[in-house]
Amino acid sequence: MTVDFALRLASAAARVLAPNGGTALIGKDTRLSGYMFESALEAGFVAAGVNVMLMGPLPTPGIAYMTHRLGCNLGVVISASHNPFEDNGIKFFDANGGKLSDELEERIELELAGEPLTRPSGELGRASRMDSSRNLYQEFCRSTLPAGVDLAGLKIVVDCANGAAYKVAPRTLADLGAEIVPIGSTPNGRNINVGCGSTAPELLQLTVPGVHAHVGIALDGDGDRLLMVDHLGRIVDGDQLLYVIARARHARGQLPGPVVGTLMSNLGLELALRRQGIAFERVAVGDRYVLARLRETGGILGGETSGHILCLDRTTTGDGLVNALQVLAIMQQERKPLAELAAGMNRLPQVMLNVRVAQRFEPMGVPAIAKLLRELEAQLAERGRIVLRPSGTEPLIRVMVEAQDESLARQCAERLAEAVRTAH
């Protein structure tokens, strides 16, 4: 991605999403290159006659919310999420704070072929800084707690991954009465996601018991993913957090539709929800598939093991801070530590192997692999699960086996991996 591309992208998006002028909201995380791309996007939009509001560092879900709250035609986020600082990307939201449809994305791609638009001087857009408006997002996050619930009495370690949430997350939690110990909250443009955040929670695991905190929160670089750590320093991942929220919603009669996970969601989640009488469905890996299925079924709760969770009764997109608040509220309402709330779900041992191949292929199209898979599934019966799929981006075949016995899971995974290796 280059400055020239960012400028062209802004111009193309303006022609599709705000053809008669309007306003674009631009936010970013803390990567060094974010300033460069912010300027390029600003130039492209202003030249095309679109006003620009520059929000500065704010979580991706915060930009989604503020786009709708401020009545903008579109929102733009400059972020590469949980990836290293050298990477960057650009994401768009529509006027309602939702992801763009495939049709709109295709129209923008087609417009990229044209020259950037520059309107006459009298028709140019204007740019303004909106940094102080982040308070509106903080107010929104606080409003997602049930009436009468605050965080008084909780000591919380919050790891902001040196990313987009480094200001709003600690402030929001403190405003709700919690005692805050922030880490990963001193970004320098290069340290986003480095040894901190949801992709590297080891420091959080040490800090929570070290300072005698009740719980730890780990966000990723753009603030849309969440992992938590209990008072003993143990990780509570996205599947376990889904269980905690789903069980509490269900007990209050506030869980319409099924909970939606992905092919990679741990079987322990499915079994734990089944014991609670909660329906569970799986879709392909990717939050867009989770969201689509929730909309089809009228469900409100779904997500991925990585901690990208959708609580559609609270917000339109995955929001790490909002989701953390839902879990903290349950702790306060039930007066139970996170360890006890998560204990109702037992994660089954999971073995994942990536088999490199000369070129991607559909493994189930190979009779020998399909035959072995059926044999292993019969052996596991309801005590385990197998996922065998080609990577969407690399020449890899991914083998995942879950079983109540880890040695059995590894044995099955290695047999399948060997069958894949010998097939090509």
What's the longest Cα–Cα distance across the chain? 73
Contacts of 392 (CB under 8 A, 6+ apart): none
DSSP state, 129?
A: E
Look up 81 and say whether it is catalytic: yes
Are the C-beta atoms of 352 and 398 separated by less than 8 Å? yes
**What type of residue is 121?**
S
Which one of 33, 81, 185, 306 is the catalytic residue? 81
DSSP state, 142?
A: H
88 vs 175: CA distance, rounded Å: 32
Structure tokens at 418: 């060997």
Contacts of 371 (CB under 8 A, 6+ apart): none
- Residue 412: closest CA among 403, 423, 424: 403
How far is the CA of 109 from the CAs of 13, 51, 63, 98, 166, in angstroms?
9, 22, 22, 19, 33
Mark 356-384 as b/e (b = at least 16 C-beta within 10 Å).
ebeeebebeebeebeebbeebeeebeeeb
Which residues are marked as active site?
A: 81
